[in-house]
């Protein structure tokens, strides 16, 4: 069977000659009966040739769908983008419960809007399609964090969650959103994504069609009174009309925790998991109730270091507060600025007041009367965390809104 011998010849010229012979054979197929064994052999040669051509000129880099080369290792400053097509406008940014894009954080410090439960991570900057972008990245293999929202009572029975994450598609890596219910011992529910696969609690997995590629991917969750939907890069992988199981009702949740599992931190460079965007939106608990609580509404408004200029990433938070104040035209609020303990007490007192005044000015630009807002500063006098760590300083830099009684 000479046809099978020819498939082992590596030279390009031999492949070209063989290709011509195959072409002639193929033309004759329609008018001449060919022995079935020869027919099968011809099919195998064609398949072998196709594989041979694919392998010609191959190197240790893989070409991905957008024509770029996928490097063997991930450079945190030159990070390759994934081929994702997420649902656009999934979360209304004017109706967010929590939002963080990490753009105005100091590299190597702990993110100011999060609380560390275990493990460790830090802020950093990467380049995505030529644009600098803030991220948090893991520096331990198992990391557990949660949004720094006082009271842990902000989700309710209707909400959406969106996060943009990086997958190396190597080793054991995962992002897990653990939905919690402080009022029910067994009322938690996990949504896990890893390698193009999504789990909803302990239910069977749903796999992304096609092969998951290294790069940025968008993980989205929609929840409405027990109805759970989960999306990866715009593809619905979970569609469960009622996630309640074993007579345990899961119609609402109070808060969430985020667990991150990294594949390897011993490589050079290490394979660190990264997040560049995290948002919670939807109905949530009424903002007015949070404003009128004893603690007030605690928000970590983003300012540049030692500055009182509000960053754009905080506009959506202030827009929500303005909307509530318009719905309750008789309501008056106090805006209190708090700082960390770096610097002198006198300078921190001044900085806290200037930041509160900047917030008042922004709300006034949204047609909230200035006389309805009172500003004051506590400076560094009322810290949330007194441990004198970078994480504690981040928690103490905040603005508190409270309805005047």
For 5-54, how does the pLDDT look when each residue is reduced to its tens digit (9 = 90+)? 444 444 444 444 545 555 555 445 444 443 444 444 444 434 443 444 33
Closest alpha carbon to 253 in 175, 153, 160, 176 = 153
Collapsing DSSP to helix, strand or coil, 313 comes out as helix
What is the rounded distance in angstroms from the CA atom of residue 43 to the CA atom of residue 38? 9
CB-CB contact of 164 with 218 (8 Å): yes
Largest distance between two CA atoms of the chain:
98
Distance, CA of 180 to CA of 186 (rounded, Å) = 9
DSSP per position, 349-398: HHHHHHHHHHHHHHHHHTT--GGGEEEEEEETSS-S--S-SHHHHHHH-E
Name the pTM for this structure: 0.57
DSSP line for 68-131: -EE-SS-BTTBBPP----PPTT-S-GGGEEEEE--TTSPTTSPPTTEEEEES-EEEEEEEETTE
Query: How does pLDDT run across 223-240, given as a tens digit for each residue?
Result: 999 999 999 999 999 999
pLDDT tens column, 67-120: 444 433 444 444 444 445 777 778 876 668 888 999 888 899 999 999 999 999
Instruction: Give residues with Cβ within 8 angstroms of 158, minimum separation 6.
Output: 223, 224, 225, 282, 283, 284
Structure tokens at 67: 């024509």
| Surface-to-core class of residue 395, CB atoms within 10 Å of its CB (0-12 exposed, 13-18 middle, 19+ buried) | buried
Q: In percent, how much of the chain has pLDDT > 70?
A: 76
How would residue 147 be classed by pLDDT, with cut points 50, 70 and 90?
A: very high
The span from the CA of 180 to the CA of 176, in Å, is 12
CA gap 217, 232 in Å, rounded: 7
**Of 86, 145, 149, 192, which Cα lies nearest the Cα of 280?**
149
**Residue 153 CB neighbours (<10 A):** 17
Q: Find which of 34-38, 99-103, 152-156, 253-257 is predicted with most confidence, using mean pLDDT.
A: 253-257
Copy the structure tokens of residue 153.
């009572």
Banded model confidence at residue 405, pLDDT cuts 50, 70, 90: low
C-alpha span between 240 and 274 (Å, rounded): 28
């Amino acid at each position: 069977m000479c046809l099978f011998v020819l498939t082992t010849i590596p030279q390009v010229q031999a492949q070209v000659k063989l290709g011509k012979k195959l072409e002639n054979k193929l033309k004759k197929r329609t008018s001449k009966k060919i022995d079935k064994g020869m027919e099968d052999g011809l099919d195998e040669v064609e398949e072998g040739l196709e594989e041979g051509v694919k392998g010609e000129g191959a190197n240790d880099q893989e070409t991905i769908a957008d024509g770029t080369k996928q490097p063997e290792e991930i450079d945190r400053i030159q990070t390759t983008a994934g081929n994702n097509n997420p649902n656009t406008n999934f979360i209304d940014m004017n109706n967010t419960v929590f939002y963080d894009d990490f753009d105005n954080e100091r590299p190597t410090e702990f993110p100011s809007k999060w609380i560390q439960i275990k493990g460790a991570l830090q802020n950093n900057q990467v380049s995505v399609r030529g644009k600098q972008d803030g991220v948090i990245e893991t520096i331990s293999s198992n990391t557990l964090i949660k949004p720094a929202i006082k009271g842990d009572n902000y989700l309710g029975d209707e909400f959406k969650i969106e996060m943009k994450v990086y997958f190396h598609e190597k080793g054991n890596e995962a992002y897990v959103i653990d939905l919690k219910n402080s009022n029910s011992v067994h009322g938690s529910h996990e949504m896990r994504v890893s390698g193009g696969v999504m789990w909803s609690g302990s239910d069977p997995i749903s796999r992304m069609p096609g092969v998951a590629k290294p790069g940025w991917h968008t993980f989205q969750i929609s929840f409405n009174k027990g109805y759970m939907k989960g999306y990866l890069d715009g593809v619905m992988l979970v569609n469960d009309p009622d996630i309640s199981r074993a007579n345990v009702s899961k119609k609402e949740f109070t808060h969430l925790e985020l667990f991150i599992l990294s594949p390897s931190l011993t490589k050079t460079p290490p394979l660190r998991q990264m997040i560049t965007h995290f948002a919670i939106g939807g109905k949530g608990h009424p903002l007015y109730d949070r404003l009128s609580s004893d603690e007030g509404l605690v928000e970590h408004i983003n300012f540049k270091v030692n500055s009182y200029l509000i960053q754009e990433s905080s506009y959506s938070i202030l827009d929500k507060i303005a909307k509530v104040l318009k719905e309750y035209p008789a309501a008056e609020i106090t805006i209190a600025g708090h700082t960390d303990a770096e610097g002198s007490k006198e300078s921190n007192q001044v900085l806290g007041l200037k930041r509160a005044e900047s917030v008042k000015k922004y709300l006034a630009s949204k047609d909230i009367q200035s006389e309805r807002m009172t500003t004051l500063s506590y400076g560094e006098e009322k810290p949330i965390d007194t441990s004198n760590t970078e994480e504690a300083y981040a928690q103490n830099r905040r603005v508190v809104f409270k309805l005047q009684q």
